[in-house]
Structures are given as structure tokens and as C-alpha cells.
Amino acid sequence: MAPESGLSRRGLLGGGALALGAGLAGAGLGWGAGSATASSDAVAIGGERVPFFGPHQAGITTDPQSFATFVGLDLRAGSDRESLTRILRLWTEDAGRLTQGRPALADREPELADAPWRLTVTVGLGPGAFVGLADKRPEWLRPLPAFPIDAFDVRWPGTDLVLQVCADDPMAAAHAVRVLTKNVCSMAALTWVQRGFRGTRPAGVTMRNLMGQVDGTVQPAPIDHDALVWDDGAAQPWLKGGTSLVLRRIRMEMDTWDEVDTPLRNLVLGREQTSGAPLTGSAERDAPDFTATDANGIIVIPPASHIARAHRRTDREQFLRRAYNYDDPPPPGETSDTGLLFATYQQDVDAQFLPVQQRLAEQDALNEWTTPVGSAVYVILPGAQPGGYLGQSLLED
Ligand code: HEM
């Protein structure tokens, strides 16, 4: 039982609250005049907002925020199109407010809403959400094939729904996750929560992962970007402006990675750990030369290195990588539970992502120190228009 507090509930509801207010005011901490300064400071810090409405959902091409929480939910038994509609309407309403620094409807902690810290809420559907909508399900929306490198943990399955909540401060993300999940809990149950971080960096500086590598350098060129990321509605007209998310939870084997010296680490990746430059260049953004040889005729970037294997073989084999690090409490007896929430966005999982993943599963020097422990594929809904809701084109056309 909690220790008895000196302030009883009855005392606070009676004269106690007034006395407490007066006491704090006397100490220069009062509610009233002083609080205006406190709250305007709070808005100035963390007040930056990312628009919620538009042709695409935010949180994909948004410059990655420092923190992300991915939440996987499953629809409750007996769910139908109507319950899915209710969930998506609620999420649109709540996310439309929270991302703009306004409390959600029936927000019990409205004080936490005024500093959104570039909060974005991105909503996706797994294969199981297409109940009664089978003809609208994109061809590629199914679990990835099993790969020999996979060692899945039952804690991280694919789910019917996913929320990706990103912000530059964990408070903003935590409040949004709480509001969004509790408001739909009669219709969808929470299956997992995966939290990640990128570290605070100046704009335009690529993040590092917890293996120490500069991670996220090579991305689809801006010129091809739209065609590679956003759906054009050709196969499923309702999906125009949407995309797909592949979320792989990939554990890093930190104890054995510790034993690898820097020169070998560089060969495993095909880039220098310190600068992020390809082994054939001197700066991070230099294009790797996969055919260059040294004085002895040996290929400089080993063909089995991660970047040599991952590099596109065709223009179509490209996708947007927006990974987050995770570092959870280790299980008893182990030293770490560390890795990547490896998130990619592409128009077509089968055409763009799968060939690269297949090639890496066949051979990639990095595989010795990384293990996929979870995997899920989602369709990311097109953006919502003001007055409309996420998923409207799927559910109403
Ligand atoms: C824990 C697992 C992984 C780690 C630590 C990792 C790390 C890295 C690093 C440090 C780079 C070089 C810098 C950059 O361009 O970002 C890179 C490049 C890349 N990675 Fe990974 N990666 C992982 C898993 C994957 C997976 C599963 C895929 C795809 C299925 C993938 C696809 C790529 C691609 C396409 C590139 C760019 C290759 C190029 O064209 O140069 N990575 N990765």
C-alpha cells in the first residue's frame, strides 16, 4: 500500500487546494500570472509542426525525427468494415489535432499536447485488415518469404494495423501513442510496441547505428523518388498517394561484433566506419566503385560486403530506408538487446525490396553479426484531406 500522504484527497478538495496554490505562488511557482511565461516557453521549445493533411501521410519523407514508436495492433474478433472505419476516423481526428499541438478529443492530459516536437502519426494496414475487402488488397501485401537468416521471435509478428509515431521528443510520442491506442481499445488490441531512436544530429547529417556505422547514406535519387516511393494508383486506384512499409526487427550481435577490428569492419560493410566513405572514395557521398582493384588486382570493395550485395542491380531495386536504433533491456544473462528497426518504404515490395533482401539472405558478410527477429509488411494509406479520413478511398469507393 502507498504511504499515507500528508495531503488528503478531502483536504485538497476543501480548503487545501487554495492553501496549496497560495503557498506555491508565495514561492514564485504560482499558477496564474507566472504560468503564462512557463507555457509560452513550452510552445517555443518543441512547437514545430509537420502538416497532417495532404496527398501523402507524413512520417515517410519527413526528415527523420529523433524518436519513433511503432505499435502493432490486431483487430478484435468479429471486426468488420464498420469497425475499421471507426478506428481510422478516430485516428485521423486525434492525429490531426495532436500533430498540430492541440489536445485530442477527450484528452485527459491536454497539457502534454502543446509541444508536438514535429510529431507525425503514420497509419498502415496489414493483410488481416482487408476483411471483406480482398479485391482491394495490393498484390504484394503478405508476409515476406522465409529466409534462412531469419530467427523470428514470437513477440514481433505482423499485425492487422500499425501506427508509426515519430517526434523529436519522447514525451510527445508517448502521449500520442497513449491517446491513439486507448481510444480504439474496444476495437483493436495492442500486440507489440517497438521503440527506436536516432540520436540528435544537425539537419542533413546521416545517423549512426549502434554498430557504429554511418547508416542511411544511399537513398533513391530525388529525381526518381516519387515513382519509387508513392503508389500511382495503377493497380489499385484507391491507393494513389500511399506506399508500403517493410518493418524488420534486426538484432545486432554486439558481443561478437566487439571482437572485430576496424579494418575488418570496413571490409564487411564496404565503407569506412569512421567517415562512412566507400572504400574506393574519401567522403561519405562519394559513389562506390564496385569494380576498382588495388595494386595486387584485388577488388577493393569485397563482393560479399554489405553494400556490394545490397547495391541495386536495376533502377527499380531502390527503396527509402528510414531505420531507427533500438536498445532494450537485455534478457537475463545477456549483455544487450540491440539492433535496428529497419523500416523501408517503396511502391511495390515484390519488385523493389524483395530482390535485395533475397540477395542479402543468400550472401552478405554482415549476416554474421545481424539476425532478423521480426518482420511485417503493411500498406501505408494515402494521406487524408481536411474533412476526410485516412482510408476513405479504400472504405467508401
Ligand atoms: C542490422 C542490419 C543492417 C545494418 C546494420 C545495415 C547497415 C548499412 C550501412 C551502414 C550501410 C551503408 C551506408 C548507407 O548507404 O546507408 C547500408 C547500406 C545499404 N543497406 Fe543496409 N543494413 C542492414 C540491413 C539491411 C537490409 C535488411 C537491407 C535490405 C533488405 C539493406 C539494404 C541496404 C541498401 C540498399 C544499402 C545501400 C547500398 C548501396 O547502394 O550502396 N540493409 N546498410
Give the mutation target among 149, 215, 345 for probing the ligand 1 site: most ligand atoms within 8 A of CB: 215
370 ligand 1 Cβ < 6 A: yes
Q: What is the mean pLDDT of residues 19-24?
A: 37
392 ligand 1 Cβ < 6 A: no
Q: Judge whether 29 lies within some domain.
A: no
Distance 137 CA to ligand 1 centre (A): 29
Q: Judge whether 205 lies within some domain.
A: yes
> Is residue 22's pLDDT more than 80?
no
Distance 306 CA to ligand 1 centre (A): 7
At 159, is the pLDDT very low, low, confident or very high (cuts 50, 70, 90)?
Answer: very high
144 ligand 1 Cβ < 6 A: no
> Cα 260 to chain center, whole Å?
29
Distance 356 CA to ligand 1 centre (A): 10
Nearest Cα residue to atom 35 of ligand 1: 310
What's the pLDDT score for residue 40? 53
Q: What is the mean pLDDT of residues 107-118?
A: 96
> Is residue 20's pLDDT more than 80?
no
Distance 309 CA to ligand 1 centre (A): 9
Q: What is the mean pLDDT of residues 126-142?
A: 96
268 ligand 1 Cβ < 6 A: no
Indicate the range of 28-42, 257-271, 328-342 predicted with least confidence: 28-42
Q: What is the pLDDT of residues 193-235, one digit of tens each?
A: 999 999 888 888 999 999 999 999 999 887 678 899 999 999 9
> Is residue 4's pLDDT more than 90?
no
DSSP 147-187: -TT----TTS---SEEEEEEESSHHHHHHHHHHHHHTTTTT
> Is residue 1's pLDDT more than 60?
no
What's the pLDDT score for residue 358? 98
Nearest Cα residue to atom 12 of ligand 1: 215
CA distance 267 to 212: 14
CA distance 276 to 212: 10
The ligand 1 atom at the shortest distance from the C-alpha of residue 213 is: 10
Which residues make beta-bridge pairs with 387?
none
307 ligand 1 Cβ < 6 A: yes
What's the pLDDT score for residue 221? 80
> Is residue 143's pLDDT more than 70?
yes
> Is residue 12's pLDDT more than 50?
no
Q: What is the mean pLDDT of residues 248-267?
A: 98
Q: Judge whether 103 lies within some domain.
A: yes
207 ligand 1 Cβ < 6 A: no
% pLDDT > 70, the chain: 89
Q: What is the pLDDT of residues 24-79, one digit of tens each?
A: 333 333 323 333 344 455 447 899 999 999 999 999 999 999 999 999 999 999 99
C-beta of residue 249 within 8 angstroms of C-beta of residue 326: yes
Nearest Cα residue to atom 39 of ligand 1: 311
What's the pLDDT score for residue 201? 86
* Structural domains of the chain, count: 1
C-beta of residue 46 within 8 angstroms of C-beta of residue 100: no
> Is residue 136's pLDDT more than 90?
yes
340 ligand 1 Cβ < 6 A: yes
247 ligand 1 Cβ < 6 A: no
> Is residue 7's pLDDT more than 60?
no
C-beta of residue 319 within 8 angstroms of C-beta of residue 352: yes
What's the pLDDT score for residue 16? 40
Q: Judge whether 9 lies within some domain.
A: no
> Is residue 11's pLDDT more than 90?
no
Please compute, for residue 369, the number of CA atoms within 13 A of its CA located in the half-sphere on the CB side: 22
Nearest Cα residue to atom 30 of ligand 1: 357
210 ligand 1 Cβ < 6 A: no
At 309, is the pLDDT very low, low, confident or very high (cuts 50, 70, 90)?
Answer: very high
Residue 213, domain extent: 43-395
At 21, is the pLDDT very low, low, confident or very high (cuts 50, 70, 90)?
Answer: very low
> Is residue 297's pLDDT more than 60?
yes
% pLDDT > 90, the chain: 85
Q: What is the mean pLDDT of the chain?
A: 90
Q: Judge whether 115 lies within some domain.
A: yes
123 ligand 1 Cβ < 6 A: no
Distance 155 CA to ligand 1 centre (A): 24
What's the pLDDT score for residue 41? 53
CA distance 393 to 286: 42
Q: What is the pTM of this model?
A: 0.91
The ligand 1 atom at the shortest distance from the C-alpha of residue 251 is: 1
What's the pLDDT score for residue 204? 85
Distance 140 CA to ligand 1 centre (A): 22
